[in-house]
Structure 1
Amino acid sequence: MADVESGEVLEPQSRHVVYCGVCTMPPEYCEYGGTVKKCQEWLEKNHPDMYIRIWSPEALAAATASLSIEAQKRAAKDAQKKAAKAEAAEKKEADKIAHSIVTIKRIERNKRKYVTSVSGLEAFGYELKKVAKDFGKKFATGSSVTKVPSGGEEIVVQGDVSDEIEEFILEKYKDVPEDNIEFVDDKKAKKAAAAAAGGS
């Protein structure tokens, strides 16, 4: 009050809040998410002082000191279960990504007119509409997301840019391994089907 009476104006003090780079919650709440281990690693690397305050053995002991022995055992068991669950989920996601294939297909529409379709990028965590926009800018052509009969979605780019698209994907979308990209030439597939039909 003395400051107000003297006419001195106090500026509001801003408060700096740290948010986890993994789960985006304040680090004090990371334990309630499914990525505790990754959150701890991120915090230890980026804010070691905060990591010590929250996750050091002393801090954990102080937090559980007021609990009964049974409650401490339950808390430890719950923490182990959460960690095991999070690890299993991470492993499952890694396996899914390792076995996901990005298919680049060159499709003949009319005589010497082609479109290039790309499917499978969503498995690597990319938003297809954003990727389609990137393709359109890069190749200065029309690019859109369309539904496929099997129920998924694919990106259709006007023109035959199948070779350039692979290079662009490897350059810009680093999560996609080169071994997980496959080419399909729809024209060859049609000719093979026609030949098989004609030969029988």
Structure 2
Amino acid sequence: MVHLQALEDQMASTSLEDNQTTDVEDRKKAREAAKIERELEKKRASKVVITRIARNKRKCVTSVYGLENFDIDLKKAAKTFANKFACGSSVVKNNQGNDEIVVQGDVSDDLEEFIPATWKNVPEDNIEFVEDKKSRK
């Protein structure tokens, strides 16, 4: 009779421990799912900004900012732009200290079509075009 009572107590404590471990595992899975959801929301809200910057008289460069938010390697993207448009392209730090790609020449219209065609995870709605003119002194 004593063994039967001890066995019942052990069974009751084992099921409690199993329930506690599944609760912990469920909480971990919920946190991971929430983290993935936040990352997807961040990607949806992220913008790729293409800026045409006028230099001297007829010279200009095109700046691309925000590709790193879509998990795109900037050096590979700069190399792809240089090969596609037959021009110089490099990764530089902007005034805010963030990396951006600078492409020589006015290729902003072509970039608006080329980026979503090359990288499918960048939606066309998230690409924004800005024209920046150099101020005269």
> 1:128, CA displacement in angstroms?
0.7
**Structure 1 equivalent of residue 127 of structure 2:** 181
Whose relative contact order is higher, 1 or 2, with alpha carbons under 8 Å and at least 6 apart? 2
> 1:145, CA displacement in angstroms?
0.3
Q: How many residues align?
A: 124
Does residue 157 of structure 1 match 2:103?
A: yes
Higher strand share: 2
Does residue 68 of structure 1 match 2:8?
A: no
Q: Over residues 50-73 of structure 1, what are the superposed CA-to-partner deviations in whole Å (9 max), with x where a residue is unaligned?
A: xxxxxxxxxxxxxxxxx9223211
Q: TM-score, normalised by structure 1?
A: 0.59
**Structure 2 equivalent of residue 167 of structure 1:** 113
Does residue 128 of structure 1 match 2:74?
A: yes
**Structure 2 equivalent of residue 105 of structure 1:** 51
> Deviation above 6 Å: which 4+ runs of structure 1?
none
> 1:163, CA displacement in angstroms?
0.5
Query: Which residues of 2 match residues 34-113 of structure 1 at below 5 A?
Result: 68-113=14-59
Instruction: Give the whole-Å Cα distance in 1 for the aligned partners of 2:17 and 2:105.
Output: 65
> 1:75, CA displacement in angstroms?
1.7
Instruction: Give the whole-Å Cα distance in 2 for the aligned partners of 1:160 and 1:123.
Output: 24
- State the superposition RMSD in angstroms: 1.5
Residue segments in structure 1 that go unaligned for 5+ positions in a row: 1-66, 195-200
Q: Which amino acid aligns with 1:78?
A: V
